[in-house]
Chains A and B, each alone.
Chain A
Amino acid sequence: MRVESAKKIYIFSPALRLWHWVNFLTIITLFATGLYIGSPFFQGPTGVEATYAYEEGITMGFIRKVHFMAGYILLASFIFRVLISLVSKRDRLVIPTFWRKDYWIGLKEITLKYLLFMRDDEGHEYIRNACARTVYPLVYLAILFMIVTGFGMYGMSNPEGFWASLFGWVVWFLGGEFPTHMWHHWIAWLIIIFAVLHVYFVVREEAIKKNGELSSMFNGYKFFKKEPIDMNDIK
């Protein structure tokens, strides 16, 4: 067996890794509780007066409370994500660098690789592949959309309150509260479909290149056989 030399490169800061896993947990929680709120499938405690049943175990009120708490955490982690990208250069990888040549080289190569026209060990190596560079900003936008619509609907319980004055407009922008509920559902599913593909492509990268892709979100390091063409992004 041929011994290949590989370079260990530090990519993900501790703050970003922390954010990633907090985000993972809140999104899973939000999605599960959100689906339940949209279609509550088990019945509350029967034989208990509704006013007191609210306090008993897993009720609609409890699930909604979890959903709203997770929503607050998602908002906080989103703000945290924006802040760390302001102070640290390596946390700005999310910006799609479409004005640079290496972005377009990468996009072409990654597309060919994913369409199986090109082997994965051919072409260049990248710190952040161009497909991810394209899709991640859209996912951030989707999460922002969920935060805005979510807090918009949440806040309209008190139309003169803080959240309503901040995000209440979105409810009317989307044509009323009912369409807003629908959008909240559709975009939630888009995020989940992204998550499925995200996990798949990470596992695929790991299985084919064995470059530490999977563990990089825990320890921050990835292994490269060649110098990545977008190395300047994290220097």
Chain B
Amino acid sequence: METFWETFKRHGVSRRDFLKFATTVTGMMGLAPSMVPTVVRAMETKPRVPVIWIHGLECTCCSESFIRSATPLASDVVLSMISLEYDDTLSAAAGEPLEEHRKRIIKEYWGNYILAVEGNPPLGEDGMYCIVGGKPFLENLKESAEGAKAVIAWGSCASWGCVQAAKPNPTTAVPVDKVITNKPIIKVPGCPPIAEVMTGVVMYMVLFDRIPPLDSQGRPKMFYGNRIHDTCYRRAFFNAGQFVERFDDDNAKKGWCLYKVGCRGPTTYNQCGSIRWYNGLSYPIQAGHGCIGCAEKDFWDNGPFYERLTNIPVPKQEASADKVGAVAAAAAVGGAVVHGVLSKVRNSGKKEE
């Protein structure tokens, strides 16, 4: 396959624009400016990489996010940086021959293609809850992963399980790493992940021919190293103790911190605070709604979204950890007083000799 530079030349892109593009891309990947020459060199020499993109149990929000990437444009990524060979959602109209094409690519580029998985496999009823091309997605996934160089787990579905794996998980949906255990897996959680994060991960893998540095949870460090809280532009309001109490109060209008209305920024690792969404236009907190922690494991079960603390299952009541704790402590005090009186009575008088 031709290299990026060759592809760019073929499309009439000037050397100057090519260098500008390489510089932007370096920044987007979280690399130091000193890495620009390395990126340029990689773009001049590395051939494009075939990618198979499969969809399991999911809502396609990852694809929706991906096609809105602005730096680089998703169209650039799809058309010139990678060679997207198979995507059943984008080419659904192609029908049967597309499935044949997937098999051909797997055989032809054995050990060299990247498998991108959006959504996850449900294991219940032998995988019958998710059928793609007449076969359970579980089989598709295993078959496609067999010859892959690496697997990208797009979104919270493929990384953690997300909504369909929330309690009680009727279809036994599991994250990709529960099924594919013999391949390097890059988790890119988020519901959906930020578009620039997705393209950044793809570019890193394509340009450097290796997987990006991962944290202990298998997520790329450069994108999931920080909490949203620690990069949030409203952090000053948090430190100053200026909080929104209700969504319709004056403080909300002033743009104060959403901590008390359940914002999950302090417990969520993602780049929303710095890269933001839609070409840096905004992100949930900027729009006035707290973060719901969609990039975190089991975020769906850690509700309610508008409370700081989860409810503890107390019969017929809603009770937070602090309420239950206060009641238990009060009960301990009461019990102590009663026990104390009884002890005094029991020990009164003289010892029977």
A168 with B216: CB separation less than 8 A: yes
B-binding residues in A (CB < 8 A): 35, 38-40, 42-46, 48, 50-51, 53-54, 56, 58-61, 63-64, 114, 116, 119-122, 156-157, 159-160, 168-169, 172, 175-182, 185-186, 188-189, 192-193, 196-197, 200, 203-204, 207-208
Can you list 10 A-B pairs with a CB-CB distance of less than 8 A?
A: A43-B241, A121-B351, A122-B351, A159-B221, A172-B216, A176-B297, A177-B268, A181-B309, A185-B321, A196-B333
Cβ-defined contact, A185 with B309, below 8 A: yes
> B346 near A: Cβ within 8 Å?
yes
- Cβ distance B159 to chain A, nearest Cβ, rounded Å: 12
Point out the residues of chain A lying under 8 angstroms from B347, CB to CB: 119-121, 208
Min CB gap A153→B, angstroms:
9
Q: CA A177 – CA B260 in complex, angstroms?
A: 17
Contact at B240–A116, with CB atoms within 8 Å? no
Evaluate contact between B322 and A185: CB separation under 8 angstroms: yes
B329 and A177 contact, CB distance less than 8 A: no
Do B230 and A157 touch across chains, with their CB atoms under 8 A apart?
A: yes
**18 more A-B residue pairs beyond the given contacts A51-B240, A53-B242, with a C-beta to C-beta distance below 8 A:** A43-B241, A43-B243, A45-B241, A54-B239, A168-B216, A176-B298, A176-B302, A177-B268, A178-B293, A182-B321, A185-B321, A186-B321, A189-B325, A189-B329, A196-B329, A197-B336, A200-B336, A200-B340
Q: Are A192 and B325 in contact (CB under 8 A)?
A: yes
Complex partner residue of A196 from B256, B332, B340, CB under 8 angstroms: B332
The answer to whether A61 touches B240 (Cβ under 8 A) is yes
Distance, CA A61 to CA B241, complexed state (A): 7
Number of A-B residue pairs with CB-CB distance less than 8 Å in the complex they form: 146
CB distance B351 to A50 under 8 Å? no
Question: In the assembly, what is the distance between CA of A101 and CA of B216, in Å?
Answer: 47
A192 to B322, CA, bound (A): 12
Chain B residue contacts of A192, Cβ below 8 A = 325, 329
Chain B positions 136-181 with a Cβ under 8 Å from a chain A Cβ? none
Q: Which residues of B contact A58 (CB under 8 A)?
A: 241
In the bound complex, do residue A59 and residue B241 qualify as a contact, i.e. CB atoms below 8 Å apart?
A: yes
- CB contacts (< 8 Å) of B336 on chain A: these are 196-197, 200
Binary interface encoding of chain B residues 322-338 relative to chain A, with 1 for a CB under 8 A from any of its CBs, else 0: 10111011001100100
**How far is A50 from B216 in the complex, measured between Cα atoms in Å?**
35
Mark contacts of B298-334 with chain A using CB atoms, 8 A cut-off: 1 yes-contact digit, 0 otherwise: 1100100000111000000000011011101100110
Check: B296 CB closer than 8 A to any chain A CB: yes
Residues of the B chain whose Cβ atoms lie less than 8 Å from the Cβ of A193: 325, 328-329, 332
A204, B325: Cα distance in complex, Å = 24
Chain B residues in 8 Å Cβ range of A53: 240-242
When the two chains form their complex, are residues B267 and A176 in contact, meaning their CB atoms are under 8 A apart? yes
Q: Please report the C-alpha to C-alpha distance between residue A61 and residue B267 in the assembled complex, in whole angstroms.
A: 17
How many Å lie between the Cα of A204 and that of B309 in the bound state?
A: 36
- Given A156-B227, A193-B329, A200-B336, verify A60-B351 contact (CB < 8 Å): no
Measured in the bound complex, the distance between the Cα atoms of B230 and A221 in whole Å is 50
- Answer whether A175 and B240 are a contact pair too, CB < 8 Å, given A40-B260, A192-B329, A208-B344: no
**Would you list the 8 A-B pairs with minimal beta carbon distance, nearest first?**
A44-B241, A189-B325, A53-B240, A200-B336, A61-B239, A50-B236, A177-B267, A60-B241
- List of B residues within 8 angstroms of A182 by Cβ: 309-310, 321
Task: Say what secondary structure dominates the interface of chain B.
Answer: helix
Q: Do A38 and B309 contact each other (CB < 8 Å), given the known contacts A119-B346, A159-B215, A185-B321? A: yes
By size class, the interface of chain B is 35 or more
CA distance A169 to B239 in the complex (A): 26
Q: How far is the CA of A60 from the CA of B322 in the complex (A)?
A: 19
Report the minimal beta-carbon distance from B178 to chain A, rounded to whole angstroms.
15
A residues near B296, Cβ cutoff 8 Å = 176-178
Contact yes or no, B322 A43, CB < 8 A: no
Whole-angstrom distance from the CB of A35 to the nearest CB of chain B?
7
When distances are taken between beta carbons in the complex, the residues of chain B under 8 Å from A168 are 216
When C-beta atoms are compared, the residue in chain B nearest to A189 turns out to be B325
Residues of B within 8 Å of A39, CB to CB, are 260, 308-309, 322
The residue in chain B whose Cβ has the minimal distance to the Cβ of A201 is: B336
**B308 A60 Cβ-Cβ under 8 A:** no
> Cβ of B240: which chain A residues have Cβ within 8 Å of it?
44-45, 48, 50-51, 53-54, 56, 59-61
Is the C-beta of B112 less than 8 angstroms from some C-beta in chain A? Answer: no
Question: What's the least CB distance linking B130 to chain A, in Å?
Answer: 25
Give chain B residues whose Cβ lies under 8 Å from the Cβ of A42.
241
B339 at the interface (CB under 8 A from A): yes
Residue of B nearest to A56 (CB): B240
B71 proximal to A (CB < 8 A): no
B240 nearest CB neighbor, chain A only:
A53
* Residues in A neighbouring B266, C-beta threshold 8 A: 177, 181
Q: Would A204 and B340 count as touching, CB distance under 8 A?
A: yes
Q: Does B80 contact A (CB under 8 A)?
A: no
**Chain A CB within 8 A of B18 CB:** no
* B269 proximity list for chain A (CB < 8 A): 177
Contact, CB under 8 Å: B343 / A178? no
Task: List, in ascending order, chain A residues with CB within 8 A of B226's CB.
Answer: 159
Query: In chain B, what residue has the closest Cβ to A2?
Result: B350
